[in-house]
Amino acid sequence: MLDLDPHRAPVAPRAAATVLVLRPSSSGLEIYCIVRHAKSGFMGGLVAFPGGKVDPGDHDPRFDAQPLHARALELEETPEPPRALAVAACREALEEAALVPTVTPLDSAGALSLRARLAAGASFADALDAAGLTLELSALAPFGRWITPAAEPRRFDAVFFLLASPPGQTGQHDAHETTDGFWRAPAEVLATWRRGELQLAPPTARVLELLSGCATLADARALADAQCLLPVCPELVADGGFLALPGDPAHSVRERRVAGPTRFVFRDGRFDGADP
């Protein structure tokens, strides 16, 4: 799952965006999850959220007039501007889950048609223009920022965005980069993970733990507003066999930046939260 080597020379992380798409259900909130292809070069086979690295087209000036969520301006010293990160989040959600926020409502058939334009080679901006659509970037609320540990060979500086599922869109995985997609309550995903029936990366598990306490979209939005947007970069403590988070005595950053235990300890085949 992770390829951690304490002697590896660190590489610069690439800018990326991840989308936490939520919808209300009769039993509470559900989040859209994907299963990454087993042959994926990074985190293959894991259950994750739609997301990926920023592409050059995410800087297209046609996106410049679209307002951002107010908290996006609080993102500091990210490798890419907040606008490009928000556009990348929308594009990746469309590509991997057929979910995309637009000013003019778009149903599932429309989202699939838009995704087909991308698959045929159109740029994101061109595909949106051809369909007469404008992204609703302000619908993406920053939720956090995680950086892959320096001990990993492939590293990403990923901003997590919260998004209420666009009305009329049900989601569908792409069957290319992903092998499945599903809606499920965060607590249910965690329970399945703890039974060893699926794999989660540490940031995914922590985000699910945070969201499991939310009963409504309003709760989730309030939680997003309360999150620290400074980067969380776990540090490998090789002699202790764990990953330390900011705020842990073993981490170089003394301030806590995310709620929950300050360590990820590898046990029972997974990295689980623990305190010193």
Q: Do the bridges between strand 14-25 and strand 156-164 make them parallel or antiparallel, or are there none, so unpaired?
A: parallel
Query: Can you give the length of the chain in residues?
Result: 276
Cβ within 8 Å of residue 6, ≥6 positions away: 151, 236, 238
pLDDT, position 268: 82
Task: For the chain, list the domains and their CATH numbers.
Answer: 14-205+214-227 (3.90.79.10)
What angle, 0 to 180 degrees and rounded to 10, lies between the N-to-C axes of helices 108-119 and 82-97? 100
Three-state DSSP class for residue 129: helix
**Per-residue pLDDT, 109:** 98
DSSP 23: E
CA 191 to mean position of chain CA atoms: 20
| Secondary structure (3-state) at 45 | coil
Q: Please report the pLDDT score of residue 176 as a whole number.
A: 82
3 state SS of 37: coil
CA atoms of 212 and 22, how far apart (whole Å): 12
Query: In 10 A of CB 120, how many CB atoms?
Result: 8
Query: Residue 181: what residue type?
Result: G
Which residues sit opposite 103 in a β-bridge? none
What is residue 38's predicted lDDT score, i.e. its pLDDT? 65
The one-letter code for the residue type at 100 is V
Q: What is the pTM of this model?
A: 0.95
pLDDT at 241: 83
- DSSP code per residue over 157-177: EEEEEEEEPPTT------SSS
* pLDDT tens-digit profile, the chain (276 residues): 567 767 788 899 999 999 999 999 988 999 999 998 766 555 557 999 999 999 999 999 999 999 999 999 999 889 999 999 999 999 999 999 999 999 999 999 999 999 999 999 999 999 999 999 999 999 999 999 999 998 888 899 999 999 999 999 999 999 788 899 999 999 999 999 999 999 999 999 999 999 999 999 999 999 999 999 999 999 999 887 899 999 999 999 999 999 999 999 988 888 899 999
Q: What is the pLDDT of residue 1?
A: 58
Task: Let me know how many helices (H) and strands (E) the chain has, helices first.
Answer: 6, 11
Rounded distance between C-alpha atoms, residue 172 and residue 147, angstroms: 27
Task: Report the alpha-carbon distance of residue 269 to residue 240 in Å, rounded.
Answer: 17
